[in-house]
Amino acid sequence: MSQLSIRSQSHNYDVVIETGVRHQLDKWITKPYSSVLIVTDRNVSEHYLQDVVTSMEKVSTVHTALVPSGEASKSMGKYQELLDRCIETSLDRQSLIIALGGGMIGDLAGFVASTYLRGIDFIQMPTTILAHDSSVGGKVAVNHVQGKNLIGSFYSPVQVLYDIETLRTLPETELRSGYGEVMKHAMLSDSAWLEELLGRSITSLEDNQLIGDLEKGIRVKASIVEKDEREQGMRKFLNLGHTLAHAIEAELGYGEITHGEAVSIGLLFALQLSETRVNASGLPIKDYVNWMARNGYPLSSIQSLQPVALLKRMKVDKKTVNQQVHFVLLNEIGKACVVPIQDDVLLTELHRFQTEVVNV
Ligand SMILES: NC(=O)c1ccc[n+]([C@@H]2O[C@H](COP(=O)([O-])OP(=O)(O)OC[C@H]3O[C@@H](n4cnc5c(N)ncnc54)[C@H](O)[C@@H]3O)[C@@H](O)[C@H]2O)c1
Ligand SMILES: O=C(O)C(=O)C[C@@H](O)[C@H](O)[C@H](O)COP(=O)(O)O
Ligand SMILES: [Zn+2]
């Protein structure tokens, strides 16, 4: 078991990483709650909802809310339905919302918690590898057809209870997706860790390697959000790879490829741009492309997309100022920067990415 404390500007909370924690929630919930709404998706509910209900019934009155699995549920429509459920089940200001699932559920249920009655407590119970990222730091949101996470808030959970036993039922696509964000955390922090990851295959991971990667990723994230919770400065670095990733997700249609897969492509583009725009040298671009190919990342999915359409999507990204797209780039592994990129440069670089880098 490991326990990390996150000291954010709004409040402090713990991330507990433990095998089987879903069976012992009564031990971890520190406050009495009048009632609890467990929000989850249909895939996750089949495996884990009953365990969480049984464990929570020892300490509170329990209600549940299920949404369909997949990114399409991170929508204003499902947000509204969940608010209806909060009212129907008479949740009050002493109630708790538990987000049981991956990042889609964490973002959606967290946004409900942040706005219902102007904010009630919520606990993140991540069940994906990717959610080592989404469950920490307090970004909660739903998507808009125009762009990812355009409606949301900063609202930290009161606890993150990460039952790593649940990761055993993840399909291979979700291992791939999770490791997109693990790679991002490695690129932002530590060339030795990155090199280690590039040498491994995600389908033959030892348990201790996976847990080690999750802990390292959470530490990288925590060290940034503790200093800049509301993204006034260095938190933008956590968006490495995301300017293109979000454009791909919206342009292909939410859920066509996973968030982490889109991030993995966005990371490659950020490495390419780092070489041309900030003269970075020694970035492991070839090794990274090989790692992506070996592990089945859908690099070719960007080939059907028009650079002009991607640019239009990037213009609604949250780092855009006065219609000027800003990219997170790397001067070197572990040293990020934010750089404005002109539209014509971006179109040329996207074209080169599609013809020379991806199409090899
Ligand atoms: N708030 C943040 O800081 C932040 C950070 C990164 C990503 N995100 C968001 O997170 C979302 C992606 O999260 P995700 O990749 O976890 O996706 P997800 O929540 O959609 O889960 C992926 C799939 O795995 C299934 N699943 C989840 N846990 C499972 C388990 N243990 N066993 C079997 N199946 C399981 C789900 O039902 C779903 O089909 C995106 O919306 C992204 O924008 C947010
Ligand atoms: O926590 C952050 O900050 C991040 O940027 C983490 C990202 O992995 C995550 O996908 C986040 O939701 C993107 O934020 P956004 O503000 O660009 O929507
Ligand atoms: Zn992300």
Kindly report, residue by residue over 164-216, the tens digit of the pLDDT: 999 999 999 999 999 999 999 999 999 999 999 999 999 999 999 999 999 99
Q: Which atom of ligand 1 is nearest to the CA of 104?
A: 19
Mutate to test the pocket of ligand 1, among 66, 75, 174, 254 (most ligand atoms within 8 A of CB): 174
Give the residue from 16, 37, 13, 80 showing the smallest Cα distance to 215: 16
Residue pLDDT, tens place only, 262-320: 999 999 999 999 999 999 999 999 999 999 999 999 999 999 999 999 999 999 999 99
Please name which of 269, 333, 331 lies closest in space to residue 297, comparing C-alpha atoms.
269
62 alpha carbon to ligand 1 midpoint, in Å? 23
260: left (phi > 0), else alpha (psi -120 to 50), else beta? alpha
Q: Based on C-alpha coordinates, what's the Rg of the chain?
A: 20
Considering only CA atoms, which residue is closest to atom 7 of ligand 1?
134
Take atom 5 of ligand 1 and give the residue whose Cα is closest.
134
Lowest mean pLDDT: which of 46-60, 108-122, 185-199, 344-358?
Answer: 344-358
Query: Among the atoms of ligand 1, which is closest to the Cα of residue 178?
Result: 15
Neighbours of 295 (CB within 10 A): 16
Give the CA diameter of the chain.
60
CA of 242 to the centre of ligand 3 (A): 6
Query: What average pLDDT does this structure show over 32-38?
Result: 98
CATH numbers and ranges of domains, the chain? 2-169 (3.40.50.1970), 172-357 (1.20.1090.10)
Query: What's the pLDDT at 356?
Result: 87
**DSSP letter assigned to residue 280:** -
| SS3 state at 36 | strand
Residues 273 and 286 sit within 8 Å (Cβ to Cβ): no
Q: Complex ipTM above 0.90?
A: yes
CB-ligand 2 contact for 326 (6 Å cutoff): no
User: Which residue's C-alpha comes closest to atom 4 of ligand 2?
Assistant: 238
Per-residue model confidence (pLDDT) at position 360: 57
What is the pLDDT averaged over residues 211-237? Answer: 97
Summarize pLDDT for 86-97 with one digit per residue, the tens: 999 999 999 999
Instruction: For residues 213-226, give the mean pLDDT.
Output: 98
Mean pLDDT of 213-220: 98
Give the pLDDT confidence score for residue 92 in this predicted structure: 98
pTM of full prediction above 0.95: yes
Average model confidence (pLDDT) across the chain: 97
For residue 143, give the ligand 1 atom closest to its CA.
41
pLDDT for res 30: 86
Q: Give residue 8's pLDDT.
A: 85
For residue range 320-357, list pLDDT tens digits in order.
999 999 999 999 999 999 999 999 999 999 999 999 87
**235 Cα–ligand 2 center, Å:** 9
